[in-house]
Each structure stands twice: as structure tokens, then as C-alpha cells.
Structure 1
């Protein structure tokens, strides 16, 4: 088990969800903090709370792309490359989860069982998600 997975487990035990963990990772790599944003990402947890909504790793990854896609940190508008990056992102996520033609709801990806079961089933997916989002941003010159 690598250091990132150990940190995921710690954050999970503290009650953080997939989208929150993605932002904790991303912000941890910068000097920025944004507790309000991390708190807001809790709304993506467990498919919006019901398990029937879109996977929080998928939507959280899209949020990460948008958050870091501005040409400058204080820009209000994302890069014009964001639509292309989002297409790359969703294509990768569909292939990674084997959901090319089906729904991408939390329950469909990790099975029913509530947020605790989802957290246990998602650590590797969230780790892969983070790596892929960073890779997309780097390929577009938006991540050093």
C-alpha cells in the first residue's frame, strides 16, 4: 500500500468523500487552501447522497479540470480547452469503469450499500482519477 492510499484511508476515516479527497490531494500539491470548496465537494458524495446519481469521482474529476483549467489562478473563466479536456476525461472514465454505454451512477459502479461501502470500493478509482486528471491538465500545459 503506497502513501497516497494510506492518506485516502485517513481521510475516509475522517468522513471525507471522493470529490473532497480529489481536491484535498490537488490543493495539497499547491500552497492554496480552500475549505469552502472542499466542504462543497461533499455534495457529490455517493452519487449526490442516494447512490443513484453520477459517481462523485467522475463529477469530482470534471470539477478538478474546470478548477485548474484557467490560464491564471485568478481568472474567472476556464480555458477554452476545457470542453476538449472534459471529453478526454469522460472517455477515459467510461473505459476505466467499463461503463461505455451504461449509467455511471455510484451504485452501478460499486454496488449498493450506502456511503461506507462506496468509500471502501472507491479508493483505487479515486487514485486513478486523480492521476488521469493531472495527466490531462499537464498534456494541455495547465499543470506543472
Structure 2
């Protein structure tokens, strides 16, 4: 099953953009953390279905943080953490913010629920790919 088919399957299983992005990465790295996936549900639908900032973008930032952030007293975050997040946000704004007039779900969907099926899967795939690329380029994952 390719990446796009898998993310569509996860969507059909009831997961949303931010959850799908992190779940895909965990699967790729042979990990599972149901608590993290549950926590990401607060980002669904643009922060609790408020239509605010896109869950793909926030999920991508969380994905980078999951692998590059500080998780315990003994750990230190990657020196590239904020740079990677900044690059992801800038890239998202350059691509989708400009195309749709903003980074909020309401901008991306433009009031048409059909756009959720036509736009969101491609955005999820692109953000996942970009976030993983940034993590690899900066030596956080191999």
C-alpha cells in the first residue's frame, strides 16, 4: 500500500489530519503511542473543529517536535528543532497560504465541504513528506 492509500485508509478509520501525519511517521519508524494520537485530536478540524489553523500544519509541527523535541529531564532538544518548524511553517504558507488565502481550515476549504475530500488528503501527504524530509536532512531520523 502506498503512502496516499494508507492516509486515506486512516481517514476512513476516523483519524484526522494531524493524527494521520504523526501516525504515518510512527508506523514508518516502527513505533506506536496511542496517547500521542489521542492528544492530537485537539487539533482536529483546525483546533477543535473551530476552522482555525490547519491540522496538517500543526500536526507536521508536532511530528517534528515528537522526534526532535525534549521528552525528559535528561534529553535535550535538537539544535535544529525551531529551524525545522520554521521551515515547515514558511513552506506551508508559501504553498497553501498563498493558494488559499491563509493557513486556516476555513480558508483552505473555502466553505465547501467537498474540498475536504479533494484538498486535504494531498495536503496531508505533502506536509508529512516535507516534515520527514526536514527530519532526515537534519539527522534527526535516518
Distance 2:17 2:74 in 1: 26
What whole-Å deviation, never above 9, does each CA across 1:16-74 have from its counterpart, x for those lacking one?
Answer: 00011011100001222100101111111110133431100011001111111149999
Kept in 2, the 8 Å contact 1:12–1:119? The answer is no
State the SS of the aligned residue for 2:46.
helix
* Equivalent in the alignment of 1:58: 57
Return 6-15 or 123-132, whichever deviates more: 6-15
The runs of 5 or more residues in structure 1 that have no matched partner are none
Structure 2 partner of 1:129: 127
1:113 deviates by 4.7
TM-score, normalised on structure 2? 0.85
Q: Compared with structure 1, are the counterparts of its residues 75 and 90 closer, same or farther at alpha carbon in structure 2 (3 Å cutoff)?
A: farther
Aligned residues of 1:52 and 1:107 also touching (Cα < 8 A): yes
1:24-43 equivalences in 2 (<5 Å): 24-43=23-42
* Alpha-carbon distance in structure 2 between the residues aligned to 1:52 and 1:39: 19
Normalised by the length of structure 1, the TM-score is 0.84
Kept after mapping to 2: 8 A contact 1:17/1:119: no
Is the contact made by 1:5 and 1:123 (CA closer than 8 Å) also made in structure 2?
yes
- Alignment gaps of 5+ in structure 2: none
